[in-house]
Amino acid sequence: MVQHRLSADAHFSGDSVEAHLGRTVGPQQGVRGIEDSGAGLGAGVGGAWGSTGRHQAPYCPTGGLASGAPRQGTPPVRYGPTMKPNLHSLSLLCVALTWGGCSDESAPKTGTPGTSGGDSATVPAPTFAECQQWMAEVPHDGGATRCESANARDVEQVISDGARVITLSSGRTALAWLPEDWETRDAQSLLVLVHGSAGCAEGSFGDFRRLIESDHALLSLQYQNADGSYARGDAVHDDLTEAMQALRSACPVASAKAAVYGFSRGAARTVQLAGQDREGPQRFTAFVVDSGTLPTSDYNGRSLEGARFWMWCGEHDPDPQRPDQTTCGVMAADMVPTIEGLGGTVDAFIQGEDSCHGVFKWDCDATCSTCAGSAHPTDLGPHLTALREYLNQTLKD
């Protein structure tokens, strides 16, 4: 793990993050190598059909769930970038094990030949034109958000982008959007956004669209309920799974690499999502934890083997659960050792100098009552710039 203090004068002009990280407070080992896992949104479908997550039946290599397959006891099989699955052999194995279990009904549109009862058929992947039509079917209505402070600018961004409102079976929602040049991109990437306590799906969407523009497709979750309560770990995971299945069935995103960004309360949910994701089908390349802490008991003993984290905190930010400590103190003493003890990799743990709650502000006073610097399109500031470079390096290189 690399531990840094990132100072407010660390502004960027095309150089690497490492060159601007300010005073180092941990071992100077250099940023951990970004390894290409080869995983995209199709991971766990084409590349790990034996995933045994709590909510997952084994996947056939053709992209469908194995009908009637047991939900426990089948070890996962994953393929690295130099080891490609033999689809024909795996398809025969799947048929032998489940006898027609790779049904057309369960298989999403992936463009991979499907198998049903021994007969092969090709299901075309959704086109970008079909995706755009799907997006336009349910636009945002411009109504009130669940953000604590309504921001019309965020709603206007959602509407002008033509983002799709996905209504989930829980009654909660998600916003989905793909850049206009999606079809021509050599490296397609998706960023899932999990808002904080005072935030909402529209607020997170608006911030990232204005500030990092069209670096990635976006899927922004609204996990606060109508009564003001918040969905907890398993429910958030179920919402995310449903939203991603809807997006994948309508849009050509199966090959995209994906990461999750969580802020404050959403950062705690993101760590929980990482544990659930590692159980299967391992869709995400990295998890960003911004200014949020999670009690050790809430990890639920789930393995984080293979999960990668980028963690940030502001040095003046008081921890909401432990007012006598800072968020950075709790992250350093509790979260980082717990994540690494469960098998996760912390690519970077950055403590922002003269900063408070969130990567979007800097040059804050010690009481966090005012911050002189606030991210905007022409100056992202030191912290959001560091995050942007990490996401681009992880998801696009």
The Cβ of residue 174 has, within 10 Å, a number of other Cβ atoms equal to: 27
Q: Is-contact 383 352, C-beta < 8 A?
A: yes
What is the per-residue pLDDT for 115? 33
Q: Is-contact 163 139, C-beta < 8 A?
A: yes
Q: Is-contact 5 24, C-beta < 8 A?
A: yes
Q: What is the pTM of this model?
A: 0.75
What is the per-residue pLDDT for 48? 31
What is the per-residue pLDDT for 266? 97
What is the per-residue pLDDT for 233? 87
Burial status of residue 326 (CB atoms within 10 A of its CB: 0-12, 13-18, 19 or more): buried
Instruction: Show pLDDT as tens, one digit a residue, over the chain (397 residues).
Output: 666 666 555 544 444 444 344 333 343 333 333 333 445 565 543 333 233 333 333 333 333 333 333 334 433 333 333 334 444 443 433 333 333 333 333 334 444 333 334 445 677 899 999 999 999 999 999 988 888 766 889 999 999 999 999 999 999 999 999 999 999 999 999 999 999 998 999 999 999 999 999 999 999 999 999 899 999 889 999 999 999 999 999 999 999 999 999 999 999 999 999 999 999 889 999 999 999 999 988 998 899 999 999 999 999 999 988 888 999 999 999 999 999 999 999 999 999 999 999 999 999 999 999 999 999 999 999 999 999 999 999 998 7
What is the per-residue pLDDT for 121? 64
In the chain, what is the straight-line distance between the N-terminal and C-terminal CA atoms, in Å?
20
What is the per-residue pLDDT for 244? 97
Q: What domains, with CATH codes, occur in the chain?
A: 41-125 (no CATH), 128-396 (3.40.50.1820)
